[in-house]
Amino acid sequence: MLCVALHACFFLFGAPPDYARLLDAVQIPMVERIEDATAIVVPAGATGVDTAAIVARVDSGALLVTEGDSPLSRALGLSFNASSIEVTQVEDASSPKLAIVWEKPLKLVPPSVPPGAKVTVKDKWTGAPLAMVFPHGRGRVFFLAAPLSGYARFPYFIQTLIAECGVTPPFRASRLHAFFDYGYRTGVDVDYFAKRWRRDGVMALHASAWQFWDRNSDRDQYLHTLIAACHREGVLVYAWLELPHVSDKFWQDHPEWREKTAALADAHLDWRGLINLLDPNAFQAVARDLNKLLGDFDWDGVNLSELYYESPQGPENPQRFTPMNDVVRADFRKQSGIDPVEFFDPSSPHHYLKDAANWKKFVDYRVGRVRSLDELMLHEIHRARLTKPYLHAILTSVDNLYETRMREALGVDVTLLRPASAFTLVVEDPASMWSLGPERYSVLGEKYGAQTAGIDINVVDRYQDVFPTKRQTGGEFLELFHNAAAAFSPVLVYFEASVLPRDMETVAYALAASARLSGDSVESPRSVWVQTNSTQLDGKPWPARTPAAILVPSGKHTVGAGDAPGFTLTHLSGELLSATYDDPRTISFTYRSDARAIAAFSSFPSSILVDGKAVESLLLPPGEHRVQARQ
């Protein structure tokens, strides 16, 4: 049984939903019979618990998770003789500087600390132990002083299971797209980080292209080095654009092309200096620079991200509302007889709160302008494809199907975006939704079901009052990416440096959403890495594997042990469709990928054929292809 080898089959007394949801976020299997379990969960108030039998299971090597003062806890040697405390804030041993605040204070009596215990969570103010892992016989106990309550009290429950309790989730998926902001990474060792990104399941890096827009030999060399390091590690690199921000220097050099707000001030909002791309001269300059940027570096794709107008607060904040450049004002005045600046003049009969009919016309006009800009920039990316046909285009737009107010606020309307082979649509949930919890991605997935769409998740400190942490981390982080991966492809994260290391190390487990394990049978809607040393698939030697995992295509398959050649496919950034050994030194496989795909082998092949034609690179073309690699 695979689950036995992985030490990850849980039996839940009373089937508590808090545990089931968190375990499911990383596909840890749950069994219906305690006899089949390698780990047992006994929550507070569980009934039908045979204390002696469970202690015996632990002593023989099982993992036990249990809560609070109970006959079982006392049978394990814990005592509860300390004074009662009220817990409001806790400290996790692996993230001691992170503020973890319980929304609802809880009074409890902390336990004694048995020999050999590692305290993983303590009360912030008294230092009393609230969670710990300790040995008992040949097994281990993970004790919580309070009920789990999802991720509300112990956000790193899953990470502690993995790091301290020997639990390995059964699946990994290397399909994360991560934004990379050069401004935060100017001095890093790109070779080190490229290896780490691959290890953590990053499939593609989206590098901040505006910071390389104005050519500089040092930055050019940095970007060449970054892309080469990523490609060596099997990670794709996209040019991440944030138009109408072009670059800081472009903004400084061209005051005549600056966008205007409804207050008729230059539109430098937050970090973005917005350029009026509807000015023909400005657009031509930007298009020329973009073509050179895409041509001079070995990009795999382009992410045209957040090309919309400001601001999320809508017309309520004229100081941030755009566009009010001369082109827009003249064009809308010609169409309607109204200067759109009047919509923000309280004394005007056309103020947006007074003249709803004409305001709606301007909202629709603004949406049309955004769509026109999308089309213009996608056309420029298509021009770059004339010399680099493999470039994959992504268009990232803020959602307005769930958060409908964004149409008026930002000028976005995803119903007008019909992705086909020209680009992949990625939706981003606006900041107003970041406190709504992981379930929102399931709802978003239903709304976008008719469209092929990816999702962009912002992992940042939120402005709302949220508990237990300001930034998404721990169980909340894993549930976010699990739900997102079940509904969307690809999944993007802003940004790789804002994700806490403990989360980045476990996100690949969550991204294997919908994969299921039953005995030695694996079923998944997409190809997935199974954590096992198996060497065969469906009774035949399987070439796509490493010593610790096997890459299984979509569908239902059986994994097992047996003789197999040593030459293997160890990495593939695309979707594996099939694989076979033609002979012990020759692997054939088929794959599908929207962008280029990168393959890696246990030893560099002496020859590679793609659809029967010889190639010299492990950068494989986009689309669906057959590859034959000989050792």
Domain boundaries, given as residue ranges, for the chain: 2-169, 516-630
Residue among 264, 278, 255, 272 at smallest CA distance from 368: 278
Q: What confidence score (pLDDT) does residue 421 get?
A: 67
Is 299 exposed, middle or buried (CB count within 10 Å of its CB: 0-12, 13-18, 19+)? buried
Question: What count of residues does the chain have?
Answer: 631
Name the 3-class secondary structure at 204.
Answer: strand
Q: What confidence score (pLDDT) does residue 4 get?
A: 36
- CA–CA gap between residue 409 and residue 413 (Å, rounded): 11
Is 369 exposed, middle or buried (CB count within 10 Å of its CB: 0-12, 13-18, 19+)? buried
Residue where the block lists tokens 């502690």: 160
Name the 3-class secondary structure at 411.
Answer: coil
Which CATH topology does 2-169 take? Answer: Rossmann fold (3.40.50)
Phi, psi of 231 (to 5 degrees): -65, -35
Cα dihedral across residues 250, 252, 255, 256: positive or negative: negative
Q: Report how far apart, in Å, the C-alpha atoms of 473 and of each of 178, 358, 506, 530, 599 are.
A: 16, 45, 11, 24, 31
Contact 391, 294 (CB under 8 A): yes
- CA–CA gap between residue 85 and residue 80 (Å, rounded): 12
Q: Identify the helix (H) or strand (E) that includes residue 51.
A: helix 51-59
Calculate the dihedral angle through the C-alpha atoms of 421, 234, 170, 443, rounding to the nearest 10 degrees: -30
Which residues of the chain register pLDDT less than 50? Answer: 1-6
Q: Which two tokens stand for residue 282?
A: 């400005």
Q: Which two tokens stand for residue 500?
A: 């806490």
The secondary structure of 54-115, three-state, reads HHHHHHCCCEEEEECCCHHHHHCCCCCCCCCEEEEEEEECCEEEEEEEEEEEEEECCCCCCC
Q: What confidence score (pLDDT) does residue 450 get?
A: 67
Q: What confidence score (pLDDT) does residue 449 get?
A: 82
